Structure 1
Amino acid sequence: MSYIERSLGEGEEIVAKANFHWWYTAKAVLALVLLAFVLVGFYIFFVRMYRKWTTEIAVTTHRFVEKTGLFTLSTNELSLNNIEGVRVEKNLWGRMLGYGHLRIEGTGMDAIALPDIADPVRFRSAIESAKERRRG
């Protein structure tokens, strides 16, 4: 027995009851789905920003160095003499926005993949120039 039925006065009757339309529930479900997408978006955002904020990539006069992580530190180092090739990969968006992927291949190790590097052609040229200066 509902509250309204229990609160009826003597001789009082319910003439009609109203119910929520299914669309009311559908909007709540859509809001929940949207929230899930937003939470996934926040997760992806923070993972990518953490990687960006804790990664250093440089070429020195002697070597290439990539450091990632803050709590768990990981480094890739490769002597300039051991760099066999640097490949730049740019898709349509990369060409339009000025970014690309670098793949640095070295002697006796797996290639080092660097995603979404700003001006990758310039960085590849810097590696090649450092290699030339190192050779003398």
Structure 2
Amino acid sequence: MPRQLLEGEDLVLRLHRHWILLGRWLGLPLMLLALFCLALYVAGDRMPGDLKLFLLLLALAALGLWTIVAWLRWTAVSLTLTDQRVILESGVIGRASKVIALDRVQDVATRQSPWGRLFGYGTVQIDAMGASGTELVPYVPGPERLRDEVFVQSGASRRAGRT
């Protein structure tokens, strides 16, 4: 969450990237662990039991460390929509953020692959006036919902600015 919302600013939506990324990052290590366990099983009595246990625990520790890294990578990128701006943040230790005022948003486009349509994720492209230009945010869960909510909030922001 952004460290501090502006005075009078309300949180509308906060998103992390879609969980499918965790599956992509953990799929291969899980398959390798399964193959490793199968190899240990096939080795049977040809390998001492203590060595098999040690290797299995070592493989599980490596998978646990990889899982922690994958989770940190997944949580490192977030998108926050308030009633005044869109905030894109990335990083775990060092943080970078980009803020787009809603009254500067010109267009919001979405793209979904067949897998994205099946699992409910896609890429959101936010076009803003000025130097900020275009921002691409991949693996957004429910990209149409985000697009529609940005348009609703952007329209409300523009209407409020006219009165």
TM-score tier after normalising by the smaller chain length: 0.5 to 0.7
Structure holding more helix per residue: 2
Matched, 1:53 2:111: no
Greater mean deviation of Cα atoms: 107-116 or 80-89: 107-116
* Secondary structure at 1:113 match in 2: strand
Give me the CA root mean square deviation: 2.1
Matched, 1:123 2:146: yes
Within 2, Cα distance between the matches of 1:111 and 1:53?
A: 23
Say whether the 8 Å CA contact 2:90–2:97 is kept in structure 1.
Answer: yes
Say whether the 8 Å CA contact 1:51–1:68 is kept in structure 2.
Answer: no
Specify every segment of 5 or more residues in structure 1 that has no aligned partner in the other structure, as ranges.
1-38
Structure 1 stretches (4+) deviating beyond 2 angstroms?
Answer: 45-51
Give TM-score, length-normalised by structure 2.
0.53
Give TM-score, length-normalised by structure 1.
0.63
Deviations 1:44-96, CA, capped at 9 Å, x for gaps: x7665323212221111110001111211100110001111111000111111
Within 2, Cα distance between the matches of 1:58 and 1:76?
A: 10
Partner of 2:91: 69
Bigger relative contact order (CA 8 A; separation at least 6): 2
Partner of 2:137: 114
Say whether the 8 Å CA contact 2:100–2:132 is kept in structure 1.
Answer: no
Matches within 5 A, 1:81-96: 81-96=103-118
* Secondary structure at 2:149 match in 1: helix
